[in-house]
Amino acid sequence: MKELVVGVTGASGMIYAERLLMELEKQCRVHLVVSGTAGTIAALEGISFSNFSVICEENSDLAAVIASGSFRFDGMVVVPCSMKSLAGIAHGISDTLIGRAADVCLKERRPLILVPRETPYSRVHLQNMLAAHDAGATILPASPPFYQKPETIEDIVDMIVSRILDHLGIEHTIGSRWSGCHA
């Protein structure tokens, strides 16, 4: 069973984190870290993370097991990833548990997926994304494709979550895959 960390930071798009947790809790052990601002935004967006079968960690707890490289976990997703969190991760600022766990992923060469939801991107955002990429993170913007002709918001969310799961090597049946123009 894979063991993963999910960090939720203060950007709109809590529905992506919620849907990811629905899938991960079925087959993984998950450590969930929700920043204070993310909690506020989740409430505004009508999302609650309290009903998931996950290990809840406090973002201020830099002594949590996931803060150490000697604790073995298989990867991390920050979804949604605020530009503040992205900047901290890109530049090695580990003053929160989310930042420290991300730093652990980078230094231990474990998968780290950052899902920025901001739009448009400024030059600073793009430079920080490039710095995070160069450090080893995967930048996976919440930019869904429309070739599958989504009919609901859930269809759109599933396309992004399916890509996250693909990058984590997690089997799933959500979303749809490109089958070519002539299929």
Higher per-residue pLDDT: 109 or 182: 109
pLDDT interval class at 183 (50, 70, 90): low
Tokens at residue 73, please? 């976990």
- pLDDT of 34 reads 98
pTM for this entry: 0.96
Tens of pLDDT along 119-164? 999 999 999 999 999 999 999 999 998 988 999 999 999 999 999 9
How far apart CA 100 and CA 109 sit, in angstroms, is 14
How far apart CA 42 and CA 15 sit, in angstroms, is 8
- pLDDT of 137 reads 98
- pLDDT of 134 reads 98
At 124, phi and psi to the nearest 5? -65, -45
- pLDDT of 121 reads 96
- pLDDT of 171 reads 94
Q: Do β-strands 28-34 and 2-8 pair in parallel, antiparallel, or remain unpaired?
A: parallel
